[in-house]
């Protein structure tokens, strides 16, 4: 990331673990102040204290459950602040249950967190970023968005396409939007989603801090999509250009790895 971000503020959702926490740590050590958002006040306070002690960052806490529209809008309102230079829409999770047999409430909450929150926070933040002609938004998506792997995959497909569309609209602006599309990354995500990870080959795993470093490099280069890891760059190309019947076969194989 450009040194011009030093002393500016980043808003990171889902910042208490995984890729979100890695973003908060890397950005703080690069000289940015932070607004960190999540559902758990105690965990937010712990992360904030660590960042203050280890990186000397100013850290603001924003407790919000992004499955709740009113709380989404609290985060969206903070994203309009004139001090905000970067928004990282990272909050997300997967469901252990299949769509058929699962509950409508769970599916709606997943959609609200993965799609509605990203859209509303981006809509709030972008006018100020464009006016200041600086900074932008990183929306954490997934290589799963190119597969046919349930409603999580469908939601991430929206996030990637949405981000690419905004990147094109802003191609003449100093503000930028990028989709970050990692593959399997060692975080709490897999446990929370009830995934069996024992059969996933070691070479398919990414480190959260490595993912963030690649993302920030690609963001500085104004790339519309960032795919960390050679293995996932290859998989992403295959998934995007194969005929859809073959992509469905690939998706079936991917599900077998994690079921």
Q: Determine the straight-line distance between the first and last CA of the chain, rounded to whole angstroms.
A: 37
- Tens digits of residue pLDDT in 168-206: 999 999 999 999 999 888 866 555 545 555 567 687 789
> Mean pLDDT over all residues of the chain?
89
Mean pLDDT of 63-90: 98
Q: Tell me which of 19 and 196 has the higher pLDDT.
A: 19
Sign of the CA dihedral 210, 215, 220, 225?
Answer: positive
The SS3 assignment for 201 reads coil
Q: Identify whether 152 is a catalytic site residue.
A: yes
pLDDT at 83 (0 to 100): 96
Phi, psi of 240 (to 5 degrees): -80, -30
pLDDT at 65 (0 to 100): 98
Mean pLDDT of 221-238: 89
pLDDT at 134 (0 to 100): 95
Tell which residue, 216, 98, 223, has the closest CA to residue 151. Answer: 98
pLDDT at 96 (0 to 100): 82
The full set of domains in the chain, from first to last, is: 3-258 (3.40.50.720)
Phi, psi of 12 (to 5 degrees): -125, 120
DSSP state string for 232-247:
HHHHHHHHHHS-HHHH
pLDDT at 244 (0 to 100): 64
- Look-up of token digits 């599916």: 107
The SS3 assignment for 1 reads coil
Answer yes or no: are the C-beta atoms of 145 and 139 closer than 8 Å: no
pLDDT at 258 (0 to 100): 46
Helical ranges in 56-149 per DSSP H? 69-78, 104-111, 117-132
Answer yes or no: are the C-beta atoms of 177 and 163 closer than 8 Å: yes
For 30-34, 92-96, 104-108, which range has the lowest pLDDT when averaged over its residues?
92-96
Answer yes or no: are the C-beta atoms of 155 and 114 closer than 8 Å: yes
Beta bridge partners of 60: 35
User: Measured at the alpha carbon of residue 72, what is the angle toward residues 145 and 137, in degrees to the nearest 5?
Assistant: 55
Catalytic residue among 93, 152, 158, 257: 152
Residue 248 has pLDDT above 70, yes or no: no
Of these ranges, 30-39, 149-158, 238-247, the one predicted with the greatest mean pLDDT is 30-39
Residue 247 has pLDDT above 60, yes or no: no
pLDDT at 198 (0 to 100): 58
């Amino acid at each position: 990331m450009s040194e011009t971000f030093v002393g500016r503020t980043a808003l990171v959702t889902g910042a208490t673990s995984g890729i979100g926490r890695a973003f908060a740590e890397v950005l703080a050590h690069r000289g940015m102040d932070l607004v960190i958002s999540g559902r758990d006040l105690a965990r937010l306070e712990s992360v904030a204290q660590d960042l203050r002690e280890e990186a000397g960052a100013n850290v603001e806490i924003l407790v919000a459950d992004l499955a709740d529209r009113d709380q989404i809008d609290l985060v969206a309102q903070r994203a309009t602040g004139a001090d905000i230079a970067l928004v990282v829409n990272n909050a997300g999770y997967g469901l252990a249950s299949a769509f058929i047999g699962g509950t409508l409430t769970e599916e709606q909450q997943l959609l609200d967190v993965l799609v509605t929150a990203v859209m509303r926070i981006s809509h709030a933040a972008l006018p100020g970023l464009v006016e200041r002609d600086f900074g932008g938004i990183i929306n954490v998506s997934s290589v799963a968005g190119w597969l046919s792997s349930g409603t999580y995959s469908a939601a991430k497909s929206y996030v990637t396409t949405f981000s690419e569309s905004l990147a094109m609209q802003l191609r003449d602006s100093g503000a930028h939007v990028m989709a970050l599309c990692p593959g399997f990354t060692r975080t709490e995500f897999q446990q929370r989603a009830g995934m069996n990870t024992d059969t996933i080959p070691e070479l398919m795993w990414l480190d959260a801090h490595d993912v963030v470093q690649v993302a920030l490099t690609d963001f500085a280069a104004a790339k519309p999509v960032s795919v960390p890891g050679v293995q996932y760059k290859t998989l992403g190309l295959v998934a995007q250009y194969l005929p859809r019947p073959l992509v469905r076969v690939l998706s079936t194989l991917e599900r077998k790895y994690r079921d």
